[in-house]
Structures are given as structure tokens and as C-alpha cells.
Chains A and B, each alone.
Chain A
């Protein structure tokens, strides 16, 4: 090979060239800061001294309750839900090779909402408080199974185009059912159902936090183990096969794990949008698509983002709480647009 002229191109690193460990440390610090802010800020103002005492369990019992039973579990739940949605979003974007993919794309949010609305409208949610999250989780899982069933019935394998279409169709159907139920329900049920669908971390408790941890940790480990195969799948399914990935098995495990993770998050917090779409993209724009770094970084970034959004949602209007989905959209969009405008290549 004797080329007369070699075009010397300076390696234009259009991104922060940090090693993975530096990224993780920086993001972890961000998460920590947001958690501290979440505990510090709230409807009831208290001095730093009171705050520290309350964390340790000393001092005014009302303040202790507020800090230990309200602010701390809520902050942790927001972090876990944010991490879950971001990781799930990153996984779906790799699997579907589509930049618009996000955790709710296979009908998960509609399924969860259908389950939740069912318990609200039938009054079940009043009689047994845990019936709502359980129904939301079940609804999410069932809609995923339905989407898979449809996709399998078309071809032998999980064709991503068919999956996307099936997701859209199942979603539309479930949303129609939801509106049908709400059209005939009484005003109070409608209001309660809509509140749930707007998403909220207000019901966080140490129990819900522990449930989320027990879902997130194994799911994250599984997905991290699939990080390299997901990289290959992101390039193309045949390429992944040529490089030795068992494509169908990887897809099944990845889809299933990501969906279950999303279902758990939605069951606890309602359908909070935007996080699963934007956070992985933002991390990708900074540091690329390699899932071995993208997954943990998305988890941390998602956690910090949602904790910050949650804190903003409950503190910006005094004692009035804004629905968190609105905050994630209003805050997330400008940030994302700023990131998009940095000089880099394609987005997907």
C-alpha cells in the first residue's frame, strides 16, 4: 500500500476524553451533591444544625420524622428510579438501534397506567394500598408479554421493527382502555388516576426504597454483563452474530430485564417521562456509546437528574408540589438542546 498523500487529520476528540473511572467519580459526586440538596431543601425550612441532628435521630421528633421518614427515602427513591429509567433507556436504545427509543416504548407505561387506573376506578386502591403498585407492575409486565407475543407471531425471532410497531399498537390500545375507564368513572377517580400518571415520588418509604434496590442491583449486573453484546447489537444484528453473539438470547434477556426494571420504577413512582430518553443520550454525546461506560454513567446521571428534578418539583412553589414529569421535561429539554449543539457527529 503506497499512498502518495496521507491526509493527516488531527484526532479531533469532540468529547471530554476522560477515563471511565474519572467519569464515574465525577458523576458519583454529582449524585451525592444532589442527595444532600434533596435532604436540605423542603417545605419546612430547618437550620443545618437541626438537619444534622435529625439525620442522627436527635432533636425535635417532628424534624427527625421529616428528615428520616420523608426526605431521605424520597431522595433515595428518586435516585433509584432515575437510575433505573436511564439504564433501561440506554438498553432499549442499543437494542432497537433507534435514538427515539426509551423505556416506555414497548407499551410499558400504558400497561402500568392501565393497571393503576383499574385499581383506582374499582376502588381497590382504597381498600388495599399496595394493590396499586402491584397492579401497575403486573400491567407493565403483561403488556410487554403481549408485545412479545405479537412480535413472535409475525416471525420466529424478535424483529426490532415488528417490536416497535407492536409496542405502538399495544400502547394505543391500552390508552384507549384507560380513557374508556376514566370516561365512566367518577371525578374523584379520574383526578386520582391522573395524579398517578403524572408521576410522583411523594409516597416513598424505606420499604419502597428497599424494593427498588432489590430490583435495580441484579438488573444492573445483568445488563452490565450484556454491555459488550449490546454494543455489537447497536451496530447491527448480523454483525453481532458474525462476532459471536447469540443474538436472540441477548435480545430476550436484555428486553426482559430492562422492562422489568422499568416496571418496578413505574410501579413506585408513576410514569415519569423524559429521563429514560434524554439522560442516556446526554451521556452518549459526552462519552460515546460504549455500554460498559454508558450504562453505569447513565445510572448515575439519571439518579442525579431525577433527585434534582424531584427537589425542584417539591420546593419551587412553596408547599404546592409540581408534578415531576413536568419538571423533567421543562428542565431536561433546554439542557439537552445545549448538549446537542456541541460539535460532534451524528447522535445515534
Chain B
């Protein structure tokens, strides 16, 4: 891949030189060629804006932890010059932090001289984006809600960082892995369950979020798959009425005794799933990342929902 693009570039420049020499020799006007367009990058971001870079970004500031992860996975760690305080991956520990993802220090960003900033689509004020754009810093807005967003994001990040081939390879590997996970539970009956993002007020993952999609892929049938919101807050009564078989609860590293907690919470303790002890935890850290690690998340979810399929 790398070879091909180098050869392509060399051929193009050689051609260009010939044309220039030819036109000088012929005394014609200097040929007007566009600047070596093989290296220019133009990608439409998730806010509908076309972001144009003269060449793949070499100094990227990622305000989204999952985008940072993706960059690392594509081998572009050296191209990252700034991260947020929420980026805890060891590979970027030494890279300076610019603050939060939604409220970073614009000054710190500018001081790092980035040629690309990857920003949240979730920021409902877009003030940071406006500020950076007015200072001529290219901003690429990334949406990270569902798996389509994730795959598109990987492809886009690949193009922006000049890692197209790595991106394609990663995407292919991800699809293959996800397919195999799906296949491993295809024959099993789908399990009625609820993904409990938050217990009070009860919040679950809607079918249009990547977690909802992974849950479904992993053989689970969310009792709230009819809800179109991304992260619906549902009433306890509804949960009781829909009577899930299993509760999947994302928890932090050090949280223990989740089942005990649910046994004490009013409303939850009367659920059949809690009474029978069908409460499974998954690492919150892992499953909340819309990056290539969704393969691992899918595996973890599959093992939680269908332990019998685990190998």
C-alpha cells in the first residue's frame, strides 16, 4: 500500500516535470497544474462540512477519547500532539492534555499548532468549533452514536491521517470478528434482557446506539428495542411490565456487589431477574468506547448474555 502511493507520487511528479520542461521548451505558458492532489485530503465530517487538508494531518489533537484510540489502532500515534484529560490510554500518557473534550483550553490547542482537531458532534453549542475555525484550525466533527458512525469514523480518521489502508484493514477485521460473534449465538434463543446504563432514574441504551446494536448482535433482545431515543429514561413500571430475563449493568473497575445493590433498590428488587440473581456486570470503561474496541465489547456482552456460548 505504502509502496503504491510512493510510486504514484513519483510518477505524478515525473510527469509534471516533463510537462513543465516541455512547455518551457515550447515557450508556452507555464502549465497550470493543481498542487500535487494525490496528497490533499477532503472529507465530509459528521456536521456536513467538507474539511480540506493539503496533506494528511500530522499534528492531530483529538478531543474524543475513542478517536484517540482509533488513531492509535491505525498506527498514527506519532501524529497525535494533543489529547483530553479523559484519554487514559498509556500510549498517549506523555502527550499534553488540552483540558476537557467539550471545554478544552483553546489556547493550549492553538499552542500545539495542530493541523487537525477532532471534535464532538455532541457539543450543543459548537462554540469551540467556531472559535477554532475562526483561527484557521481545521476541525473535524465526529458523531459516535451507532456502529455506522463508528465505521465511518474509522474510515474518515484513516483518510485524514493518511492511514487509509490501515483503516480498511481494521474495518475488515472488525466486521469479520463481529460476524463470528454473531454467528456464535445465531442458533441460540435470543435472551430477553435490559442494558441498565443507569439505575436511578433508569436509563437504557436505545436500539440506535452502538451499545444497543452490540447487545442485539451478541444475542440479546432488549425489552426496550421499540424505543427510538438514543438513551431513553424509562419508568420502573415499564421495566416491571416488560419483565426482562437478565440485567446487564456496566460498572466501574472497583465496583463490587452489584447484585446486592440491586437487591436493595426499591423497584429493582422486585424484578424477576434480580430475584433470580440474573444480574451480570460488564466493564463500563470498555463498552462505552465507540472505537475498534467494540469487538472486545461485543465479546464481553456475548459472554454476559450467553455464557453457554463462551469458548
Contact = CB atoms under 8 A, between A and B. Distances in A.
Given A195-B102, A319-B98, A70 B107 contact: yes
Interface string A312-348: 0010001111000000000000000000000000000
Given A187-B231, A319-B99, A320-B99, A129 B127 contact: yes
Contact of B124 (A43, A192, A200): A192
B230 A186 contact: yes
A294 B215 CA distance: 65
Nearest to A125: B125
Contacts of A314: 105, 107
Contacts of B98: 43, 319
A44 B107 contact: yes
A126 B49 CA distance: 13
Interface in B1-60: 47
Contacts of A203: 127, 130-131
Nearest to A61: B113
A251 interface: no
B99 A321 contact: yes
Interface string A55-97: 0000000110110011100000000000000000000000000
Contacts of B131: 202-203, 205
A67 B109 CA distance: 13
B110 A65 contact: yes
B105 A126 contact: no
A255 interface: no
A141 interface: no
Contacts, number: 93
Contacts of B130: 129, 203
A195 B124 CA distance: 11
Interface string B97-109: 1111011111110
A149 interface: no
Interface string A185-213: 01111011101100010110100000000
A205 B132 CA distance: 11
A170 B283 CA distance: 46
Interface in B100-144: 100, 102-108, 110-111, 113, 122-127, 130-131, 134-135
A60 to B, nearest CB: 9
Contact of A321 (B97, B103, B124): B103
A120 interface: yes
A225 interface: no
B168 interface: no
A64 to B, nearest CB: 10
Contact of A71 (B100, B107, B122): B107
B85 interface: yes
A192 B110 contact: no
Contacts of B103: 195, 200, 202, 321
Contacts of B108: 43-44, 319
Contacts of B122: 188
Contacts of A186: 229-231
B123 A192 contact: yes
A316 to B, nearest CB: 12
A314 B268 CA distance: 43
Interface in A81-129: 120-121, 123, 125-126, 129
B29 to A, nearest CB: 33
A202 B135 contact: no
A275 interface: no
Nearest to B129: A129
Contacts of B125: 120, 125-126, 129, 132, 192, 195-196
Contacts of A44: 107-108, 110-111
A42 interface: yes
A320 B84 CA distance: 10
Interface string B74-85: 000000000001
Given A66-B111, A319-B108, 20 more contacts: A43-B107, A44-B107, A65-B110, A66-B107, A70-B110, A70-B135, A120-B124, A123-B124, A125-B124, A126-B125, A129-B127, A129-B130, A186-B230, A188-B122, A189-B124, A193-B124, A195-B102, A318-B97, A319-B96, A320-B99
Interface of A: 42-44, 62-63, 65-66, 69-71, 120-121, 123, 125-126, 129, 132, 186-189, 191-193, 195-196, 200, 202-203, 205, 314, 318-321
16 contacts: A43-B107, A62-B110, A66-B111, A69-B134, A71-B107, A120-B124, A125-B124, A125-B125, A186-B229, A191-B102, A195-B102, A319-B97, A319-B98, A319-B99, A319-B105, A320-B99
In the A-B complex, the 5 residue pairs with the closest CB atoms: A44-B111, A192-B124, A319-B99, A188-B122, A43-B108
